[in-house]
Homo-oligomer: A and B are copies of this chain.
Amino acid sequence: MKTIKVGLLGLGNIGTGTYKTLEMNKRQIESTTGVSIEITKILEKDVNRKRDITVTPQQFTQNPDDIFLDPSIDIVIELLGGIEPASTFMLKALQNKKHVVTANKAAVAANYDAFMDAAKENQVMFRYEASVGGGIPILNTLASDLLANEFEEILGIVNGTTNYILTQMTEYGLNYADVLKVAQEKGFAEADPTADVEGIDVANKLSILISLVFGIRVAPQEIPTAGISNISKEDIKLADQFGYKIKLLATAKKVGNQLEAHVQPAFVPKDHPLASVSNEFNAIFVTGNAVDDLMFYGKGAGPLPTGSAVMGDVIEISRAIAKGAAFDHYAETKAKKMLRYVGEGQNKYYVNMMAKDVPGVLGSIATTFGSCGIGVDSVLQLSREVNERREVPLVFILHEVTRARLDEALDKIGKSQFASEIKSIIRVM
């Protein structure tokens, strides 16, 4: 049986899960593929940590060159996380003609072109299935099985921490801050939760999905991104009344020759398959011009699900090496399709404001929306909830409009005598 030797960068939680995935299923992988995969060297400082795997002191090294310059190693798995030194290490591995597999969305989104170029130049494979959707096989599937489609739209719930928080807020009527605290205690959210709760992690993943599906590069920083830290339990209750659930959505949509993309919390209709994706689960919903609607659902994080995706890539590369096949790269649209990235585009919006409880207030505000060309889809005036300042909550669902024009209208409304406070603005799917 052909043996493929692998070097592993990082033996933290994900590294350990990946090692364990191989350990658990080694015999099954061998009997199925006819290839034996062995992780022979591991770059990791913490050699003494207790891990539930069989690893010998001889496997550890502190010197990355022990992996990059070892001619017996064919594949390097990068699981350090963070943009650097991971990116430098991966480039070095590629330049030394090692195939590279990574779960690192931040590094892939930041240096996508550099990795692709280095892989092509050195005739090796670069795979990053685990970087989006954790265990869900989405990237390889989009890049192979679904090639007979043009895609109109991708919608993703691709961050388990925020989906867990929103689910708990929805199911138990809790505040954001309280749920976050519990999530941190349980280890579902990090001590500094910024990258998750502010949508930065999701923007990295959306950037990767856009590269693969639409063939153009949009850096994560170019994607209008909002997180969930401003979502109130009142927003969630009102969403429910209108027939929606609030989810943090990654969206990329082709409108003619333009590509719109954004990361935002959104009202998702309750009968949409994404609405029932709860807690730590992720899902990616795509619409192709032949296949129509598809959804891929699974665990978007965690050591073993991530290990499944990483090892899936490693097995694919190992099989290609074993049969001496030319190494192929993800099929990518070379023509770039004249697709122009335009940012956020037009969306429907939910606006929750406090307004003076006086006759004519609804008419005046609705007229201002109308004069700005914004149609009103539904409205909810909760007169029973007048506060001590004689203000009432007034909630609108508005037809499609750019955020700039919406802000303009809300500015006019804010300057009028009627509105006192804009409490929240959330996209409606």
A-side interface residues toward B, CB under 8 Å? 21-22, 24-25, 28-29, 31-33, 129, 135-137, 140-141, 144-150, 215, 273, 276, 281, 288-299, 302, 304-305, 307-309, 311-312, 314-316, 319, 323-326, 328, 331-335
A137 to B, closest residue via Cβ: B145
Looking at chain A's contact residues, the main secondary structure is mixed
Question: Which residue of B146, B148, B149, B299 is within 8 Å of A291 (Cβ)?
Answer: B299
Evaluate contact between A334 and B135: CB separation under 8 angstroms: no
Once the chains are docked, how many angstroms separate the CA of A229 from the CA of B259?
47
- The quantity of this chain's copies bound in the complex is 2
Can you sample 18 A-B contacts with CB below 8 Å? A22-B148, A31-B333, A32-B331, A32-B334, A33-B147, A129-B145, A135-B290, A137-B294, A141-B145, A144-B316, A145-B309, A147-B312, A290-B307, A292-B299, A293-B298, A294-B298, A296-B297, A323-B325
A270 to B, closest residue via Cβ: B276
Question: Which residue of B137, B145, B147, B273 is within 8 Å of A146 (Cβ)?
Answer: B137
Determine how close the nearest CB of chain B comes to the CB of A402; give it in whole angstroms: 29
Evaluate contact between A137 and B141: CB separation under 8 angstroms: yes
Most chain B CB within a 10 A radius of its CB, from A33, A291, A296, A314: A291
Determine how close the nearest CB of chain B comes to the CB of A123; give it in whole angstroms: 12
Once the chains are docked, how many angstroms separate the CA of A242 from the CA of B230?
38
Evaluate contact between A135 and B292: CB separation under 8 angstroms: yes
Evaluate contact between A297 and B298: CB separation under 8 angstroms: no
Apart from the given pairs A21-B148, A137-B141, A137-B146, 15 other A-B contacts in the complex at a CB distance below 8 Å: A22-B148, A32-B331, A32-B334, A33-B331, A135-B294, A137-B294, A145-B309, A146-B308, A292-B302, A292-B304, A293-B299, A294-B297, A295-B298, A297-B297, A323-B325
A25/B149 contact (C-beta < 8 A), A141-B137, A292-B298, A325-B326 known: yes
A25/B294 contact (C-beta < 8 A), A32-B333, A144-B312, A334-B32 known: no
Most chain B CB within a 10 A radius of its CB, from A295, A307, A324: A295
B residues less than 8 Å from A21 (CB atoms): 148, 290
Once the chains are docked, how many angstroms separate the CA of A333 from the CA of B25?
12
B residues less than 8 Å from A290 (CB atoms): 21, 24-25, 135, 304-305, 307-308, 311
B residues less than 8 Å from A305 (CB atoms): 290-292
Determine how close the nearest CB of chain B comes to the CB of A339; give it in whole angstroms: 12
Evaluate contact between A288 and B308: CB separation under 8 angstroms: yes
